[in-house]
Amino acid sequence: MNIEYIKNEDIERVLIGVPSGHKHVRMIFILKNKKCLVFSEATIANVLRGFILVKTHPSISAIELKGVKLEKRKHGFAEYQLIEVEKESRKIEDEIASVLYSSGSTTTAVP
């Protein structure tokens, strides 16, 4: 796995909006190292759903989302979605810590 830990100081700018001739929002991160990451509205919505769940739920501290092709879905929803995986929060937290460690992250863990 090629790991790149992106922090605010690594970002030159972010563009958020509906491109001319399109219907859906895109989010574009332009990094100082000249890499450009483009995210679809469906991806943004799925990640935000997970983020809000972790930040606001009284007992859920981590979740994993997995890319799934859905045959049945609400009208207007993308065919591919990031769906919650049933896994213990602790296992996900440990995996996150392992990825951060592998990335060389200097972020200090809180005891």
Report pLDDT digits (tens) over 49-97: 999 999 999 999 999 999 999 999 999 888 999 999 999 999 999 999 9
The pTM score is 0.83
Average pLDDT, the chain: 93
Cα dist from 35 to 2, 18, 25, 43, 74, whole Å: 14, 21, 20, 19, 34
Domain of 18 in residue numbering reads as 8-103
Q: Is residue 2 part of a domain?
A: no
Q: Is residue 111 part of a domain?
A: no
- Residue 82 and residue 17: Cα distance in Å, rounded? 21
Q: Is residue 22 part of a domain?
A: yes
Domains of the chain: total: 1
